[in-house]
Amino acid sequence: MQYISTRGGMPPMPYCETLLEGLAPDGGLAVPEVMPTVDGETLERWRALTYPQLATEVLGLFATDIPRADLARMTAAAYEPFPEEVVPLRSIGEGLTLVGLSEGPTLAFKDMAMQFLGQVVEYALERKGSVLNILGATSGDTGSAAEHALRGKERISVFMLSPKGRMSAFQRAQMFSLDDDNIHNIAVDGVFDDCQNLVKKLAGDLDFKRAQNLGAVNSINLARITAQVVYYFWAWLRATDAGGWTELSFTVPSGNFGNILSGFFAKQMGLPIRRLVLAANENNVLDEFFRTGVYRPRSAAQTLATSSPSMDISKASNLERFIFELVGRDAARLVAVWNDLDTKGSFDFTADLARFVDEFGIVSGTSTHDDRLETIRSVYEQTGEIIDPHTADGVKVAREFSESGVPMLVLETAKPQKFADTIREAIDVELDYSDELREMLDAPQRVTEMADDEQALRSFIEAHALR
């Protein structure tokens, strides 16, 4: 299996090389040259597998340049920190079932992909005989998932910028309690956008980037997208009975279109998915696109800080991979669409609106702060389950699209303990924390404070980067 760019300007590359790149050299995103497919017989055979075994099968279709035994070792190690089931399913009535993606070390779904990424990036670097210094900015979830997945690795170090004093106590503890030598937390005197601008400046300096072996593990990374495909297969296998060819639907709390894109891959691979329901919060650029056909990214200033913060996006980085399929994998047309976006600030697929549902099965909806609170409350009253604000956005929109006779699976993307303030506001309940979490919250913290100063960051990286 080889990977090509959505913009047509990259010679086909194998999996292990592709996942070390951010954007393709032509500015596009890597996609499989041909989407692998899975037939009914294979799917039935997969019912008996454990999660890591299933991950080996599914990822094996994408990473054909990795020997099976190596892949099996990596998936076993990646999902070892999880409970035995890895992704548990639980019903909350009304025909809705939660798919538990937040059982990993940082209590959010990003662990599902990052844990595998940590294994496979180290492996790819070893094969190449090189090292990677990851430079990123985080407002909370991504940074901690990356650090917990990459801590202690020999060929990778992490430089993670966060806005000083603007993360929750829980998020700070999750990142700053790590004492591994290869993890560098940097609290910048500024807001998240200042952190992101610093990253962009350094990553845009190609000489510096090359000299310091800088890279990223953001949501467009191919290893993340492919690792997320696995749990769509897993959830389908758990929610259906042997022998049937049952269609079911998934609702996905969405930000950068990463998670739901993996569901779209699974559907294209032949998994019987009826609808992929996109749930957005108030920052609903994607809901707007799937309802009207017009995509109009917003500026940072137009992006609201909401109570489901991990979905607060202004533009959806992974959407380009969907548009590539929408234009029939025609790279020239895709480039024209992105040129339109650059010149007019929007693009328009109004004429293709019917295809979104008929051909791709994608529908969408929006949830607001009040919806979130109301949904947390109603699920708690009906079932005693406490769901986090992002999952609540999913449940709210899932209810609008549930169809009788079609099971609706809602992806649970975080644990409520990460967002205790909103839970308190919704149901006035104090959450339980495990001994392990309490220990983390009380552990000594280690962080480097820095002014919003490009030169200071350059010097810090030069002094600490792996070579």
Ligand X SMILES: *Cc1c(COP(=O)(O)O)cnc(C)c1O
Residues of this chain that bind ligand X (CB under 6 A): 108-110, 141, 219, 253-259, 310-311, 390, 413-414
CB of residue 86 to ligand X, shortest distance in Å? 17
Q: Which is nearer to ligand X, 131 or 225 (CB)?
A: 225
Q: Any idea which residue has 């792996």 for tokens? A: 466
User: Which residue, 86 or 227, is less far from ligand X as judged by CB?
Assistant: 227
- Say how many C-beta atoms besides its own lie within 10 A of residue 340's C-beta: 14
Q: Which is nearer to ligand X, 64 or 303 (CB)?
A: 303
| Radius of gyration of the chain, Cα coordinates, nearest whole angstrom | 21
**Shortest Å, Cβ 457 to ligand X:** 25
The least CB distance from residue 418 to ligand X, in Å, is 8
d(CA 351, CA 345): 19
Cα–Cα dist 129/122, whole Å: 10
3-state secondary structure the chain: CEEEECCCCCCCEEHHHHCCCCCCCCCCCEEECCCCCCCHHHHHHHHHCCHHHHHHHHHHHHCCCCCHHHHHHHHHHHCCCCCCCCCCEEECCCCEEEEECCCCCCCECHHHHHHHHHHHHHHHHHHHCCCEEEEEECCCHHHHHHHHHHCCCCCEEEEEEEECCCCCHHHHHHHHCCCCCCEEEEEECCCHHHHHHHHHHHHHCHHHHHHCCEECCCCCCHHHHHHHHHHHHHHHHHHCCCCCCCCEEEEEECCCCHHHHHHHHHHHCCCCEEEEEEEECCCCHHHHHHHHCEECCCCHHHCCCCCCHHHCCCCCCCHHHHHHHHCCCCHHHHHHHHHHHHHHCCEECHHHHHHHHHCCCEEEEECCHHHHHHHHHHHHHHHCCCCCHHHHHHHHHHHHHCECCECEEEEECECHHHHHHHHHHHHCCCCCCCHHHHHHHHCCCCCEEECCCHHHHHHHHHHHCCC
The distance of closest approach from Cβ of residue 224 to ligand X in the complex, given in angstroms and rounded to an integer, is: 8
**C-beta nearest to ligand X: residue:** 258
Least spacing, CB of residue 391 vs ligand X, in Å: 8
State which residue, 75 or 413, has the beta carbon closest to ligand X. Answer: 413
Closer residue to ligand X in complex, CB, 142/402: 142
Nearer to ligand X, 310 or 375 (CB): 310
* Closer residue to ligand X in complex, CB, 123/356: 356
Nearer to ligand X, 123 or 290 (CB): 290
Q: In whole angstroms, how close is the CB of 144 to ligand X at the nearest point?
A: 10
Q: Tell me the CA distances in angstroms from 318 to 255, 256, 286, 323, one per residue in order.
A: 10, 6, 11, 9
Can 110 be counted among the known catalytic residues?
yes
For residue 304, the minimal CB distance to ligand X (Å) is 15
CB of 287 to ligand X, least distance (A): 12
- 405 neighbors 246 (Cβ within 8 angstroms): no
Rounded to the nearest whole angstrom, what is the least distance from the CB of residue 250 to ligand X in the complex? 13
**CB nearer ligand X, residue 112 or residue 131:** 112
d(CA 71, CA 119): 9
Tell me the two tokens of residue 362.
């994608």
| Catalytic positions | 110
